[in-house]
Every structure is written in C-alpha cells, then in structure tokens.
Amino acid sequence: TAICWPNDINPKLEQAGFRLRAYDNLSGAERAWLTEYFLRKVYPVLTPLVFDPSHPFPQISNLSLNLAVKLLDPVDGGVH
C-alpha cells in the first residue's frame, strides 16, 4: 500500500476532483458538513470487527467493501 497510494490511488482521486485535506485545515462549515455526512451516511453501515491474538479472523462476506486499519498509539508506540 505504501507504493500504491502515492503512485496510483491518490493521483486518480485527484484527477477525479478529490483532494485529501487535514482536518485541521477545514473550515467550520466543512467540518460541520463532514460530521453530518458521517453520522447520516457512513456510521449506520459500519460494522467494526476485531482481529487480534485473542479473536479469530472474522468472517468477511464476498462482494463487500472492507477496510483494515492498524492504529499506532502515539504515547507508548503500541500497535492496535
């Protein structure tokens, strides 16, 4: 993914008119719109799944969109 993002995915998004911006660089109106959009459209269809040594690999249905996220704790450097 480290190669795909800058060389393939991000340029295609920019060509289609999408720009990634830091949350801190958004105006109050943009933040309000994104919050409302997330609460109305995104949050209702999220299904969080846990995958770690104490949980088996989750069942992922075919033809569904899935996103895996690894979180790094900025305080202790732990990976979650």
pLDDT in tens, the chain (80 residues): 578 888 998 999 999 999 888 999 999 999 999 999 999 999 988 877 777 778 777 777 777 777 777 788 888 988 87
CA–CA distance, 66 with 46 (Å, rounded to integer): 10
Distance (Å, whole) CA 7 – CA 10: 7
Query: What was the pLDDT predicted at 1?
Result: 57
Place of tokens 């409302």: 36
Residue 33's φ and ψ, nearest 5 degrees, are: -65, -45
- What pLDDT does residue 77 have? 83
Say what the pLDDT of residue 17 is: 94
| Distance from chain centroid for Cα 38 | 12
Q: What are the sequence ranges of the domains in the chain?
A: 4-45
> Across-strand partners of 55?
52
